[in-house]
Chains A and B, each alone.
Chain A
Amino acid sequence: MTHHQGKTLSWEIKDGALELALHHPPANEIGTAMLAELEMFVRALAKAESNCSAVIIHSRQPAGFSAGADLRELYTQARPLTPAKRTAGVRKFLKRIHSVLNALDASPLTTIAAVHGVVFGGGFELALACDLIVADKMARFCFPELRLGLVPGFGGIPRLKRDVGNAVVRDLLFTGRSINAAKALAVGLVSQTAGEGEALRVARATAAQISKFDRDTSAAAKRFLKPIPREELRHEIDIFCVLFARPAVMESLRKFVEDKGAHPYLP
């Protein structure tokens, strides 16, 4: 399928690049609806390998690239279940999202995340599965999971560890703070920064440059440069599920969901 117009996301092939646009209001929260469409996208990605050189993932939502997992849906679905069923449900979801992100990570095409605004939690993890991140100067990156008594669950820690040094990994994880695009560029998390509203244009120019090179060579370089930390990714799911089973996590989720104040994205 060379194009798709979905409820939470859409894709099309444009100038040799497969462009995936996220458009799930308010901030591209990743829940079951978006996951199902991401699974469709991964199937389209495999078919696009013969006629594309690059993939660009971007957001049409003004708030940003993605605020991460849909915590409201997670809480609402988990609340009526027994702890054992909650954990089983979350494990199933995590395995599905890991499968999507691993496919994106392993794609022979060069993948570019063009990000702006909030790049938080699961949204950050989606960007980290890509080969390159092009960031609008107003982008902010954050792993807020520890505030909820959790660790990132979509592959965040293994992929962050793969890309940047321990000081950055620990700072982001243990403080839950957000960093801006300039800092992300300085620590090697981001490949390029762009002016406000220009990340997609910069990503397209980058994709055009990538398309000049032999695809097989680029794919071979990618396999060499960017091995997928599969064992750590599996371990992350186990850790997440152990933490998720604790009553304190449900209480943190309840507080987040019921927070009517203006501050839910601040620590």
Chain B
Amino acid sequence: MKTLEQTTEEILGLAALHFKVPREQLSAGDDFYRKLKIDSLQALDLLTRLEHHFGIELPDYEVQGVTDFRTLATRIQARL
């Protein structure tokens, strides 16, 4: 079972890699819409990549209103 810290770290690594942002510029409390400069369609792309990476289903209503990586990690953690 992954810890919340491990899950958060994997999300940050995946987001940095896919959206081409240096990993060191991302932290758990960041607003990922602003930091990654993404819109809602790209957020869905991120959601799909996270579902593939963690092997989970994450209904989009569960991430409604979620804008920071840490909260996103808690939602994913609950599905692992």
Interface residues of A (CB under 8 A from B): 27, 63-64, 117-118, 137-138, 140, 175-180, 182-183, 262-267
Contact = CB atoms under 8 A, between A and B. Distances in A.
Given A140-B44, A267-B64, A262 B59 contact: no
B41 A27 contact: yes
Given A27-B41, A138-B45, A178-B44, A266 B52 contact: no
A118 B44 contact: yes
A63 B43 CA distance: 12
A28 to B, nearest CB: 12
A105 B49 CA distance: 32
A60 to B, nearest CB: 16
A267 B64 CA distance: 7
A262 B57 contact: no
A262 B40 contact: yes
B61 A63 contact: no
Nearest to B49: A138
B59 A175 contact: yes
A64 B47 CA distance: 15
A175 B61 contact: yes
The 3 closest A-B pairs by CB, nearest first: A265-B40, A177-B59, A262-B39
Given A175-B59, A178-B60, A179-B57, A265 B48 contact: no
A147 to B, nearest CB: 10
Contacts of A64: 41
Nearest to A62: B41
A265 B59 contact: no
Main secondary structure of the interface of A (DSSP, over half): loop
Interface string B36-80: 001111011101110110000101110110000000000000000
Contact of A140 (B33, B38, B39, B48): B48
Interface in B18-48: 33, 38-41, 43-45, 47-48
Contact of B40 (A117, A177, A182, A266): A266
A189 B33 CA distance: 31
19 contacts: A64-B41, A138-B48, A138-B49, A140-B48, A175-B59, A176-B61, A177-B59, A177-B60, A177-B61, A180-B51, A180-B52, A180-B57, A262-B33, A262-B38, A262-B39, A262-B43, A266-B40, A266-B60, A266-B63
A263 B38 CA distance: 10
Among the interface residues A138, A176, A180, which one has the most CB atoms of the partner chain B within 10 A? Answer: A180
A265 B39 CA distance: 9
